[in-house]
Amino acid sequence: MVRSEVAAVLSVIERAASNKDVDVSKLEKLLDMQERIMAKNAEMAFNAAMAQMQAELPTISERGEIIVNGQLRSRYAKFEDINEAVKPVLQKYGFAVSFKTDTTGNVVKVTGILTHREGHREQTDMVLPVDVSGSKNPVQAVGSSVAYGKRYVMEALLNLTSRGQDDDGKGAGRKVEPDAEGKELLEACGSLSALQAAWKELTPEQRKTLGETKDSCKARILEADKAAA
């Protein structure tokens, strides 16, 4: 569908509305058709802009560090770095990201919404347990989980990637790929207690490939805690 078709339907609706003898049910069908055409056009504009934008979305530098016993184990991208890097590109192509949260009992649902200026939107959700680790009060516990969820939701909506900073070739050796199922399980955890429980569920073979993933998840949770404090 193209804009000319919207204009044609509008013209028909205007003529029908000016006719006092018009069948109301037919007019309603025309209005429904107009809405469908406009929604389709908005979706097409969204998809076209997204395809163009993907080429300009930056790879995010992993400035967050996981330090274990005084040694750097791995790096990760911080939410503030992601947000700062993508905002200019989003604005250029008419996009905006917003978030909604819903807390029910001990569970937080974080919804990320990617909206285009033509009206179409896409969204994705992440459900997390309320992070009650440490000495957080109830507000801090919810805030920690929300901060953690927003980061992952934004990455999912925009299909973002991150990379480590230059390490002078120290990471050039071949790495064993982490177990995909176990990695997904660990990355879904929103608190240290949930991470510990998920780690216990893994098999010894899975754990051999997921040490860095566990450390990365732990650092992200701590980063979210810090942001929520």
Report which of residues 121 and 33 the model is more confident about.
121
Tell me the pLDDT band of 92, cut-offs 50, 70 and 90: very high
Residue 10 or residue 174, greater confidence? 10
Sole residue written with tokens 């107009």: 34
Domain parsing of the chain, residue ranges: 3-54, 60-228
Residues 6+ apart with CB under 8 A from 51: none
Most confident of 21-30, 64-73, 76-85: 76-85
User: Is residue 118 pLDDT above 90, yes or no?
Assistant: yes
Residue with tokens 């919404």: 113
Is residue 226 a contact partner of residue 86, using CB atoms and an 8 Å limit? Answer: no
What one-character-per-residue DSSP string does 34-45 give? HHHHHHHHHHHH
Residue 117 has pLDDT above 80, yes or no: yes
Residue 66, pLDDT score:
59
CA distance 10 to 4: 10
CA distances from 172 to 93, 168, 177, 224 (A): 37, 9, 14, 30
In whole angstroms, give the CA distance from residue 115 to residue 204. Answer: 43
- The token pair at 24 is 């109301």
pLDDT in tens, 147-169: 878 888 998 899 888 776 444 33
The residue whose two tokens read 């009992």 is 105
What does pTM read for this prediction? 0.59
Mean pLDDT score, 3-7: 59
Cβ distance 38 to 53 under 8 Å?
no
> Can you read off the two tokens belonging to residue 182?
């176990």
Is pLDDT at 131 greater than 50 in this prediction?
yes
Q: How many CA atoms lie within 13 A of 162 on its CB side?
A: 23
Q: How far apart are CA 219 and CA 217, in angstroms?
A: 5
d(CA 202, CA 207): 6
Distance, CA of 150 to CA of 141 (rounded, Å): 15
Higher pLDDT, 136 or 4: 136
More confident: 94 or 104:
94
Beta bridge partners of 114: 97, 122
User: Long-range contacts of range 48-52, CB-CB < 8 Å, 24 or more positions apart?
Assistant: 49/93, 49/94, 49/95, 49/116, 50/93, 50/95, 50/116, 52/93
pLDDT higher than threshold 50 for residue 179: yes
Q: How far apart are CA 193 and CA 223, in angstroms?
A: 15
Going 19 to 21 to 26 to 29, the CA torsion angle's sign is: positive
